[in-house]
Structure 1
Amino acid sequence: MTKTDVSNLSQLGRNVGLPQSPEEAVLEKVPSGHKGADFVVRFTAPEFTSLCPMTGQPDFAHIVIDYVPDGWLVESKSLKLYLHSFRNHGAFHEDCTLDIGRRLVDLLAPKWLRIGAYWYPRGGIPIDVFWQTGAPPEGVWVPDQGVAPYRGRG
């Protein structure tokens, strides 16, 4: 059984406050105990919240992040705190989505990453934003993100 080295983590197992902004948030990584094996890691944040930069009104999204590690895993508590730091952050849907994806790529240098952000309608229009680093490695099973497109009352 592989044991993960958590000796360099500053948040896991500690009482830490919520970062006030995504820039202030500390994302942490741990070494993968399965380097060389291609597998998909999925994080789902069905209650993601940010603020409209124009009106200050809350925006809500269901975010799904899939990645194939290449030596590093994102530590889940740090990811949770990072995602929660957007609650007081004003940014457009596209900016939030790509900032999250790119920050994870910068931290982890994964073999592949994709993010799907399924934003709930405000003003009558849902905006869904999708980004990925390229094609997934051959032979990796990448399941559908499982979020139905917005249908309204239809």
Structure 2
Amino acid sequence: MPVVTLTADDITPFVEIETTKLAAMIEDVVAMAVSVAPCIADDAFAHDKAARAILRGAVLRWHAADSGAITQQAAGPFSQTIDSTTRKSGLLWPSEIAALQDLCRNATGGDGSAFAVDTLAAPVSVAHADICSIWLAPAAGCSCGAWLAQGSALWERA
């Protein structure tokens, strides 16, 4: 059982939904949320209220989908159709998925980003080629390879 639980009591203050339909909607949204952010199923998950708020918003939006109206207006030979319905193009919006995944990243303490390790020791002094000093300003990042060659330009190494 996921630590993040959504019940009918979380939804009914906002809108009345038939009990069987609401139970199915809650089951679906929780299952989708666990599939994109598995950490919400962990017992140690600390952001259950924030995740529940995201899921509540998804259920309420899903319930309100297609509740608009389609109207037609005509004037002489001209007519237009106005569609004010909101379509359901996915149970969880990309922003909601990102928010759930951010909660998981915060729960694990990592930022989930890549890192780099410099395996070259910084040389004591670097002698850039003359052309590097003229054209590329060595302090701004040159391309003569002096850092890689541990001292002088790559083409000057014997």
TM-score range, shorter chain: under 0.3
Structure with the largest fraction of strand: 1
Give the TM-score taking structure 2 as reference length: 0.24
Structure with the largest fraction of helix: 2
Q: Comparing both chains, which one has the higher relative contact order based on Cα–Cα distances under 8 Å and sequence gaps of 6 or more?
A: 1
